Chain A
Amino acid sequence: MGIKEGLLALLADGPRHGYQLKVDLETATADAIPVNVGQVYSTLQRLERDGLVSKGGVDDEGRDVYEITAPGGDVLRDWLNSPVDLAAAGRDEISMKVLIAIFTGGLDPKAVIEGQRTATMGLLQDLTRFRAEEEDADVAWHLHLDRLIYSAEAELKWLDRVEERVR
């Protein structure tokens, strides 16, 4: 997700000023998407230029407060309603490395697979322990950890599959 959609979603929830948007975006996503204030302001400028948000006055401390516009609402709904293209997301560095190692003769795919398996299992162990220790953490953080855990798990299963095919 770009921060663009995140900002639109927050503004659909209610008007906010730039710094509030940064804080809320980080809270909602358990810091999964770190943003700096500069990014928030430059994105807001672009959204305003495109007519998706507008300035709705200033707050007590003189900060610009933004609101979502009707076209902005349409863009947000389209984004929420279209599933993420996982096929595109799967073209990551790990697949690249492993598939290239298999395709090209000079590299040893087994070594690439083993190295990656060790790293990913280590990550999965870390995440698992972290989640067990942070029993009382907030929901967003837990769900984010779960997401990372499932990805690591899927990657390990995929590496096993690759290994079977190239052995």
Chain B
Amino acid sequence: MSEPVLKMRRIGKTHGKGAQRVDALVDVNLDVAAGEFVAITGRSGSGKTTLLNIAGALDEPTTGNVSVVGHDLGDLSNKELARTRRVAVGYVFQQFNLLPALTAAENISLPLELDGMTTAEARELAEVALSEVGLDGMGDRYPDQLSGGEQQRVAIARGLVGPRSLLLADEPTGALDEATGESVLKLLRERCEAGASALMVTHEPAFAAWADRVVRLRDGQIEEISVRSFATSNADLF
């Protein structure tokens, strides 16, 4: 088996100091293989966002090692880190994090332009990404002209646009109804079938069930729940 796209070893993370100290992650080991889709469940405050932020190089672990597409994040310079974060990793934020002064399409295309793509190319990819999340023709709206679920889908489009190896999605269906949420899950699956890897946080069992592997965080520790590779045949179910 080839090197995992995401490899987390003995990750510990402590937020705050003294009386405010929180051990958000305790000795977490997690691998995500190429093409694999992993779902993380767990109660509010169990450390899911902390884990995703560390996987996406948005935060540093207190202890332990993370490697993404074969690079140990601890060994990278700030510049290399920023590049890995933008190019290899697609991140869908729990709070969307859309820039209010940019249109939906610009929110998606700007990061691509920063990586050297022409405005025209980036804009074209943004339009494709918007249509994948069911927002055809909404590219020129500003975030405050979109519903909550539409804003979330712009955030998803931004996270999934371009050739990403590792997709990190924090509760990407939180503002979506069941049918729209399902279409987002289909999109993530398609990306994994095309070779990307995904790590998604969700508290909905029905959405977690789209993953090949479901794990759970409890008080900062990880538990395996269930492994069912989507790729294997399942003819004997009925």
Q: Which residues of A contact B (CB under 8 A)?
A: 114, 117-118, 121-122, 124-130, 132, 149, 152-153, 156-157
How far apart are the CA atoms of A127 and B186 in the complex, in Å? 15
Contact partners of A122 in chain B: CB under 8 A = 226-228
Q: Can you list 11 A-B contacts with CB-CB less than 8 angstroms, sorted by A residue number?
A: A117-B225, A117-B226, A118-B226, A121-B205, A125-B210, A125-B230, A126-B228, A127-B237, A129-B234, A132-B210, A157-B205
5 closest Cβ contacts across the A-B interface? A121-B226, A125-B228, A124-B209, A156-B205, A128-B209
Interface pair B237/A130, CB less than 8 Å apart:
yes
Q: Is the interface of B mostly helix, strand, loop or mixed?
A: mixed
Given contacts A125-B228, A129-B234, 8 further A-B contacts (CB under 8 A): A121-B209, A121-B214, A124-B209, A126-B228, A126-B234, A127-B209, A149-B209, A153-B205
A130 to B230 Cα, complex, angstroms: 10
Q: How far is the CA of A132 from the CA of B37 in the complex (A)?
A: 16
Residues of B whose CB lies within 8 Å of any CB of A are: 186, 189, 205-206, 208-211, 214, 223, 225-228, 230, 234, 237
Known A118-B226, A129-B234, A130-B237; judge A124-B206 contact (CB<8 A).
Answer: yes
A126 contacts across to B, CB distance below 8 A: 228, 234, 237
How far is B199's CA from A32's CA once the two chains are assembled, in angstroms? Answer: 35
Chain A residues within an 8 Å CB radius of B223: 114
Shortest Cβ distance from B42 into A: residue: A160
CA–CA, A127 and B210, complex, Å: 10
In-complex Cβ contact of A130 among B189, B205, B234 (8 A): B234
A117-B225, A118-B226, A121-B205 known; A128 vs B214 contact (CB < 8 Å): no
B226 surroundings in chain A (CB, below 8 A):
117-118, 121-122, 125
B186: nearest chain-A partner, CB-CB? A132
- A129 and B223 CA atoms in complex are apart in Å by 23
A124 surroundings in chain B (CB, below 8 A): 205-206, 209
- With A and B bound together, what is the CA distance between A132 and B209 in angstroms? 11
Nearest CB in chain B to that of A117: its residue = B225
Chain A CB within 10 Å — which of B189, B205, B234 has the most?
A: B205
- Closest Cβ of chain A: how far from B44's Cβ, in Å? 12
A residues less than 8 Å from B234 (CB atoms)? 126, 129-130
Cβ–Cβ < 8 Å partners of B210 in chain A: 125, 128, 132
Residue among B206, B209, B227 facing the most chain A CB atoms (10 A cut-off): B209
A117 to B41, CA, bound (A): 12
Q: For residue A152, which residues in chain B have a CB less than 8 angstroms away from its CB?
A: 205, 209
Chain B residues within 8 Å of A157, by CB = 205
- Chain A residue at minimum C-beta to C-beta distance from B210: A128
Once the chains bind, are B237 and A125 in contact (CB under 8 Å)? no
- Nearest-Cβ distance from residue B151 to partner chain A, whole angstroms: 26
A45–B76 Cα distance when bound, in Å, is 80
Does A149 lie within 8 Å of B237, measured CB to CB? no
> In the docked arrangement, what's the CA distance between A156 and B225, Å?
11
Per a CB cutoff under 8 Å, which of A130, A132, A153 touches B206?
A153
Closest to A31 in B: B238
B225 touches A118 (CB 8 A): yes
B residues less than 8 Å from A129 (CB atoms): 228, 230, 234
Closest to B232 in A: A129
Report the minimum CB–CB distance from B122 to chain A (whole Å): 31
- Considering the complex, give the chain B residue whose CB is closest to the CB of A128: B209
Instruction: Please tell me if the beta carbons of A149 and B206 are within 8 angstroms of each other in the complex.
Output: yes
- Residue pair B206, A125 in contact (C-beta under 8 Å): no
Q: How far is the CA of A128 from the CA of B209 in the complex (A)?
A: 6
- A129 CA to B186 CA, complexed, in Å: 10
Query: How far in angstroms is the closest Cβ of chain B from A155?
Result: 9
Given contact pairs A130-B234, A153-B206, A125 touches B186 in the complex (Cβ within 8 A): no
Within the complex, the shortest CB–CB distance from A147 to chain B, in Å, comes to 13
B205 surroundings in chain A (CB, below 8 A)? 121, 124, 152-153, 156-157
